[in-house]
Amino acid sequence: MKKIPVGISSCLVGETVRFDGGHKRDAYLVGTLSEFFQFHPFCPEVAIGMGIPRPAIRLVKTGQGFRSVGVQDPDKDFTEPLQAYAEQQKPRHAELCGYILKKGSPSCGMERVKVHTGGRPSRDGVGVYAQALMRHNPLLPVEEEGRLGDPGLRENFIQRVYVYYRWRELLAAGLTPHALMTFHARYKLTLMAHADYRDVGQWVAGVTKNNLPSVADKYIERLMALLKTVPSRKNHVNVLQHIQGYLKKELAADDKAELCEVIERYRRGEVPLIVPITLLKHHFRKCPDAYIDNSYYLSPYPQELKLTNFL
């Protein structure tokens, strides 16, 4: 698989674009993830001509919503230029399959950005550029670099990037009712780990050539929304046991007992998710099943990312 195009705040890849002339290079992003993602850097503050270094800005809450203004000179308002830059970049953003933003930035922060209201700061703001980016691209997986330190959030974001990338590839190849049904079948087990997906399955079951465009739009919107939920250990156990059922006639009694024990140990938090997944893969190599082989649940992204080692 070729590298996936992902947007990123320029400072996170080591570009010296911060207000103080520095950067916030993230070793995990430029190391591990750059092996799989083709990063496209953006710095809206530099792009609108604020310079390097530059006076700091902050968010303030007004009757017209969040405004991005100078810390030392509040009369300097950069809100419209930042929003206009996001609008200008819509064609570039449309080519992306994910975006990683700088935590806490008044221009790029995804959530909990410090906002000043009557001299009292609170953490309920969204960066001006980030807000426009997400409004223009509601399906795009977006995350902050700070939250990627959490194993569950990291795995969730990267999985969503791969899902969206595969969806874009599906559209590029030419969507058909059969292709949509196949795509959904490959993600059924993944959805089972996230949420109740029965409504999505009903839409797909009723797809025809005539209603394909509307069903596809509704499907991907619902799919990407459901996948934002980080799966619980309980839900993963349910999926693992469901997959185990495909081996009930093939495994010897001792192999069944071992598999049950490994899943139970995962349920108790004694081993990470990679352990039962690896054992299941081992058994399905010996006893192939077409549905499981085609499912993305056991292999949702390159194993070199080692994301399930920490879940």
Q: How confident is the model at residue 149 (pLDDT cuts 50, 70, 90)?
A: very high
User: What order of strands is seen across the sheet that includes strand 57-62?
Assistant: 65-70, 57-62, 113-117, 120-125
Q: What are phi and psi of 118, to 5 degrees?
A: 60, 35
Mean pLDDT over 263-278 rounds to 98
pLDDT of residue 172: 97
In this prediction, residues 272-296 reach a mean pLDDT of: 97
Nearest to 300 by CA among 158, 139, 140: 158
Average pLDDT, the chain: 96
Sorted by sequence, the CB contacts under 8 Å of residue 82 that are 6+ apart come out as 44, 45, 48, 68, 107, 128, 129, 132
On the question of pLDDT at 196 being above 90, the answer is: no
pLDDT value, residue 75: 93
pLDDT band at residue 306 using 50, 70 and 90 as cut-offs: very high
**Does the pLDDT of residue 122 top 80, yes or no?**
yes
Widest CA span in the chain: 75
Q: What is the pLDDT of residue 218?
A: 96
- Least confident range from 20-29, 61-70, 88-97, 131-140: namely 61-70
Provide the whole-model pTM: 0.96
Identify the pLDDT of residue 221.
97
Q: Residue 199 has what pLDDT?
A: 87
Distance CA 184, CA 220 (A): 10
pLDDT at 71 over 80: yes
pLDDT attached to residue 62: 86
Region 91-108 average pLDDT:
98
Residue 41: beta bridge partners?
Answer: 8
Q: Judge contact between 29 and 13, C-beta under 8 A.
A: yes
Flag whether pLDDT at 66 surpasses 90.
no
Q: Distance (Å, rounded) from C-alpha 208 to C-alpha 306?
A: 39
- Please, what is the angle between helix 212-226 and helix 151-173, to 10°? 170
Residues of the chain with pLDDT > 70: what percent? 99
Reported as a pLDDT band with limits 50, 70 and 90, residue 65 is confident
